[in-house]
Structure 1
């Protein structure tokens, strides 16, 4: 699937490679925790390396979308990080040109919204749970 924009005009990492790199990092971290154990001394440096790698991937994705790399710091804000991550996955290469999502982008947004709604429903159904400080 071609986005129709030149790689020279918008260098960086496309949304499929971005998603696959994030999933690969997640699986590697889970495998390391199972192999070394959660209390191991390896987990600290590994989590730092994963944070730096994720930060670099986000910067590369922002370059591909065509917006400032300074937006990478939005990932550290509570609740904004979820919207930021959804945006990084759904925006096509050169998004800054049209500022509109394509069909695949809207499908990704709908999938993320459905997953979030399902998770909040599951949390709501659990007795004694709190969501945003509200007891149920």
Structure 2
């Protein structure tokens, strides 16, 4: 705080602190998680569309197998991201739980490397968390407003 202005807000470091001395977390970072997740969903769409065109008679069984592989891949991908946050790989299984899976997904997108040690969000994490909150809260507000107006 400046001596000239006693009402000035304190200045704080916005970047996440570095990991503890000699500690590595492994796993994958936010960018790679987002990129690989996006590519896997694009590949899922291409495979399902190709299956429906090439072999329409086996589409039902084939699509179940492809979607099961997609879910298993996303669990492994989330497990690697969770390991990077400093937590157990097995928390990736929480994606199967309907509501908690969404919370795990948001955490995978927003939390920085080593979050379990320093428990602070860096600037990109704060921006991502705010955007996700806006995407979730804004539709709820709109539903309430239009319900009242109707």
Range into which the TM-score falls when normalised by the shorter chain: 0.7 to 0.9
State how many pairs are aligned.
127
- Per the normalisation by structure 1, the TM-score is 0.77
**Superposed CA offset, 1:35-92 (max 9, x none):** 2228714312211111111111111111111012232232222211111100011111
The 1:119/1:30 distance shift into structure 2, 3 A limit, reads farther
Question: How far did 1:117 drift?
Answer: 2.5
The 1:45/1:105 distance shift into structure 2, 3 A limit, reads same
Match of 2:62 in 1: 42
Q: Which has the larger radius of gyration?
A: 2
**Superposed CA offset, 1:11-45 (max 9, x none):** 01111000111111111112222222287143122
Q: Which runs of 5+ in 2 are unaligned?
A: 1-14
Match of 1:68 in 2: 88
Q: Which contiguous aligned blocks of 4+ residues in structure 1 show a shift greater than 3 angstroms?
A: 2-8, 118-127
Q: How does 1:1-136 map to 2 (within 5 A)?
A: 4-5=18-19, 9-37=24-52, 40=59, 41-120=61-140
Q: Which runs of 5+ in 1 are unaligned?
A: 128-135
- Per the normalisation by structure 2, the TM-score is 0.71
